[in-house]
């Protein structure tokens, strides 16, 4: 009987160990974000950049995407347009950005867009990293009526972020 209890104890211990090990592995994995982590972007926003107005707008998540744009104006004329598509993938949201000069002349090749991969999200904040790992972008809703986009670059082995665009909600 003692031998049977030892075998049973070893089996229970093995099952428990396996369960904890597998549970530990899944907890160590990075959580995959969803477009709902970005729903704080939704709305119409206005700020200033390089002495001119900058306007942005993003839709609510629907159909596996969020669409948005940024329009920069300088000297009462268009200076640059950016079109955004946040698309849901198995790895989380991916931000695809195309830039256009006035006349809707693309700065990227026809089949190319800047691509930023989701890293993490917190309440009213999401972090993305460019495919080439040269830039990180933080989208942050600092208050009900303020949205900020920060750009980060690696300096002395540390990511340093600065406010790139500061927007206020407009009706």
What is the rounded distance in angstroms from the CA atom of residue 60 to the CA atom of residue 34?
12
pLDDT at 13: 38
Q: What is the domain extent for residue 59? A: 35-169
What mean pLDDT is predicted for residues 37-41?
Answer: 96
**pLDDT score recorded for residue 51:** 87
Number of domains comprising the chain = 1
pLDDT at residue 30, as a whole number: 47
Please check whether residue 29 lies inside any domain of the structure: no
Please state, rounded to an integer, the average pLDDT across all residues of the chain.
86
pLDDT given at position 17: 34
Using CA atoms, how far residue 109 sits from 20, 71, 116, in Å, is 49, 20, 17
Residue 47 resides in a domain: yes
Apex 37 CA angle, 31 and 39, nearest 5: 170
**What CA dihedral angle connects 17, 20, 24 and 27, to 10 degrees?**
160
**Distance in Å from the first CA to the final CA of the chain:** 78
Q: What mean pLDDT do residues 14-40 have?
A: 56
Cβ neighbours, 10 Å, residue 158: 7
Task: Let me know if residue 147 belongs to a domain.
Answer: yes
Residue 76 maps to a domain: yes
The CATH number of residue 61's host domain is 2.40.128.20
Q: Is residue 9 part of a domain?
A: no
Q: What is the mean pLDDT of residues 39-54?
A: 95
Per-residue confidence band for 26, with pLDDT thresholds at 50, 70 and 90: very low
pLDDT-derived band at 31, boundaries 50, 70, 90: low
pLDDT of residue 22: 36
Residue pair 41/57 in contact (Cβ under 8 Å)? The answer is no
75 against 1, higher pLDDT: 75
34 to 55, 104, 120: CA distances (angstroms): 25, 30, 10
> What's the longest Cα–Cα distance across the chain?
91
Q: Is residue 30 part of a domain?
A: no
Classify residue 24: in a domain, yes or no.
no
Give 109-156 pLDDT, tens digit per residue. 999 999 999 999 999 999 999 999 999 999 999 999 999 999 999 999
Is residue 139 one of the residues assigned to a domain? yes
Q: Find the length of the chain.
A: 171
In 3D, which of 116, 114, 78 has the Cα closest to residue 94?
116
């Amino acid at each position: 009987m003692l031998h049977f209890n030892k075998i049973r104890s070893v089996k229970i211990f093995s099952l428990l160990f396996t369960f904890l090990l597998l549970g530990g592995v899944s907890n160590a994995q990075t959580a995959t974000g969803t477009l709902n982590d970005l729903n704080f972007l939704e709305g119409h926003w206005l700020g200033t950049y390089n002495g001119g107005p900058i306007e942005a707008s993003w839709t609510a998540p629907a159909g596996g995407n969020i669409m948005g744009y940024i329009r920069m104006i300088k000297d009462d004329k268009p200076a640059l347009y950016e079109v955004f598509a946040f698309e849901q993938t198995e790895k989380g949201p991916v931000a695809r950005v195309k830039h256009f000069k006035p006349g809707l002349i693309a700065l990227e090749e026809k089949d190319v867009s800047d691509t930023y991969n989701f890293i993490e999200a917190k309440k009213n904040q999401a972090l993305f990293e460019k495919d080439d790992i040269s830039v990180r972008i933080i989208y942050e809703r600092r208050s009900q009526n303020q949205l900020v986009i920060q750009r980060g670059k690696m300096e002395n082995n540390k990511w340093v972020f600065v406010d790139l665009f500061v927007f206020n909600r407009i009706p």
